[in-house]
Amino acid sequence: MSALTLKGPHWVVVRQHRRVLWAVPALVGASLAAVIVLRVWLRDPGSDQMLRTNDFYAQGLLRLCMEYAGDALLFLPLLVGAFVAGPMVARELESGTWRLALTQSTTAKAWLGSKVLVAAAVSVAGSAALIGVYRLGWAPVDGSWQLSWADRGPYEATGPVLIGYCLLAVAIGALVGQLVRRTLVAMAVTGFVTGLVLLVLGALRWSFLPVVTNTAPFPYDRPLLPPDALMMDTGFLTATGERLSENICFERTQRLNSCPADLKITAEYADFHPVSHHWPTQLIETSLLLALAAAVLYAAFRLVHARHP
């Protein structure tokens, strides 16, 4: 057990921020309790009308809670990064209290490394636990409106990509906190940068893997998409292979499944990502995030070495 005892700067970091660190398991425990209560309430429909009514309300409440929970978990990396940049790094640099650590046989690299290590460990453990809790509540409502595997919120909250974003936020906070050295400004800048990465990678993630294309002769009375697929594009194909918009026929004829002969439409097409692309996309995006985190963390330690060799 003595090997697991925190010592030196790591003990100091945990002691300084113990209230926030205790809030993490408290949040996980409260979330788990809420999900369990909703799952217990959500029973299989019974023959009694009251049971069916209770199931309906429980399903709706669970779906609403999972929708808001997925949106809330999108902000988790921003909060992690802001906390590392502000209270953990910039505040000590701003007030000068970091110099006290250097008088205790601790180097500047060890001072920063202790903060990064504690923040990263708590972020990984906390985000992994929250992913597990979210998946427990999300499973009964998977596929409903705004809660499919590819939707913003559920996508991040059901896989390792959330852990990757939290680790990147720790690295950004460690770098920005040193550069800005003002608590509130460092928190704002880190939140902005982390949010920008979320938006950019969210816009690019469905280009990591090539789409699958289904075609069928026109008119086709069955869906071109398999269940739970993420549609990227759909429309019509002409005899020459040219792609036309899905609305081009309706704009001309004001009727469905009826196209003017001069368009020479021969088939319909649909580009989509099947549900089997979920985990490969998660792993690719997580790998990119870990590479970015490593690069930013390298810059943070290079900076602290340059300023305090």
Most distant CA pair in the chain, distance: 85
Kindly tell me if the per-residue pLDDT of 65 is higher than 50.
yes
Amino acid identity, position 82:
A
Q: Which stretches of the chain are assigned E, i.e. beta strand?
A: 212-217, 230-238, 243-245, 265-273
50: region left, alpha or beta (phi > 0 left; psi from -120 to 50 alpha): alpha
CB distance 110 to 11 below 8 Å? no
The reported pLDDT for the residue numbered 46 is: 44
CA 167/CA 125 separation, integer angstroms: 11
Q: How many CA atoms lie within 13 A of 137 on its CB side?
A: 30
Place of tokens 């920005």: 176
In order of 13, 37, 140, the CA distances from 25 in angstroms are 17, 18, 25
CB distance 267 to 216 below 8 Å? yes
In order of 180, 222, 270, 306, the CA distances from 237 in angstroms are 55, 17, 10, 60
For 215-247, the pLDDT digits (tens) are: 888 877 777 888 889 999 988 888 888 888 888
If you average pLDDT over residues 59-66, what whole number do you get? 84
For 200-219, the pLDDT digits (tens) are: 999 999 999 999 998 888 87
The reported pLDDT for the residue numbered 5 is: 64
Query: Token pair for residue 242?
Result: 């040219």
Kindly tell me if the per-residue pLDDT of 308 is higher than 80.
no
More confident residue, 157 or 58: 157
